[in-house]
Structure 1
């Protein structure tokens, strides 16, 4: 059984792709750029909002100033609409409740801006999640392992006692860089092939399987 469970947020705990897509398409439309479909946004996300906006823009318009202008419109819209469509995936609240009952602290490490991440976690999960680390100015984002290392130190847990749960190669690489095991969830934004190739320790098709993996009961 692991003694600390760290989760990615978007695509792992929360299905937020609809609100992210809406905010980005609103921002793109504001500047008359082409819009994208949900399947495209599932590939754009994973490295923070700046990279999301950059990937959504035409290649010739990905300069820093242009990205910042579009991102400002995204931020203004998303601030007011981040809860329109976003919901926890099926079984997530029950999973977090079960882990808390077992005495396993659950934390979130995400590339979403920290203010947004904390608001969403508090709204949907309350005290089921003990700590939230999001994107902060001047701090490297995932797959840099600094957030995992910070949580290991905070909870006085060895890397071998920690599991990181996510839905993309960014998450699996984050775990690898921190020296912790990784579970790739199959209900998120990326597919099984990506997670396998990234080197996930386990794959979870649903939250029941994920719980057994975290508790060390997986067969």
Structure 2
């Protein structure tokens, strides 16, 4: 019986691509690197900020030193502009309220750095809707490593068969597989149905309300 529903953030709950792209392009411009059009960022995101910035750099410039150099500008800009264009996907807020009405515990497990994840949730979903909010923390491996899911499960006091994990990318589906929990791949995010299925999605949802039917 499902007791806990864990959601990825970017591309699952929030359409944040434009703000992520704008912040990365700002950091790239500051250091004289070429920028990218919005569609390219659909494939840059998903593995945390460092990997996003590494992918955005020219191939010959992808050193840790360069990534850290532009990261400082990215973080400063994103802190001020993370909500310029970002918004919940249509139907997400209604879904979350329905799950809460049914007694579900709700959590966020994101590869976005922890401080930004924690700041975004109350801004868009208010206080008290989510029981657990975890972003990428220093010293903790990023998804698809299952540590973030195990940490949430431990705090929630639930077992693997009581968890449903919801995400929009292959990384998310791999995270669920590695955690031993059921997953829903959502098609309204940054990646396509084929990637979700290829990486082990238990179920596929094309609209937020469909997730309710996977709650047992």
Query: Which TM bucket (shorter chain)?
Result: over 0.9
Aligned residues: 215
| Partner SS state of residue 150, structure 1 | helix
CA–CA distance in 2 between the matches of 1:210 and 1:25? 34
TM-score (norm 1): 0.96
Query: Structure 1: 5+ residue runs without aligned partners?
Result: none
Query: How far off its partner does 1:132 sit?
Result: 0.5
Match of 1:4 in 2: 4
1:69-218, aligned counterparts within 5 Å?
69-126=69-126, 127-213=128-214, 215-216=215-216
| Partner SS state of residue 46, structure 2 | coil
Query: How far off its partner does 1:61 sit?
Result: 0.5
CA offsets 1:61-108 (integer angstroms, 9 cap, x no match): 011111100111111110100010000000111111011111101100
CA–CA distance in 2 between the matches of 1:29 and 1:155? 43
> How much is the aligned-residue C-alpha RMSD, in angstroms?
0.8
Regions of 4+ moved over 3 Å: none
Query: How far off its partner does 1:38 sit?
Result: 1.4
Query: Structure 2: 5+ residue runs without aligned partners?
Result: none
Query: How far off its partner does 1:164 sit?
Result: 0.5
1:20 lines up with 2:20 in the alignment: yes
| Partner SS state of residue 182, structure 1 | strand
| Partner SS state of residue 117, structure 1 | helix
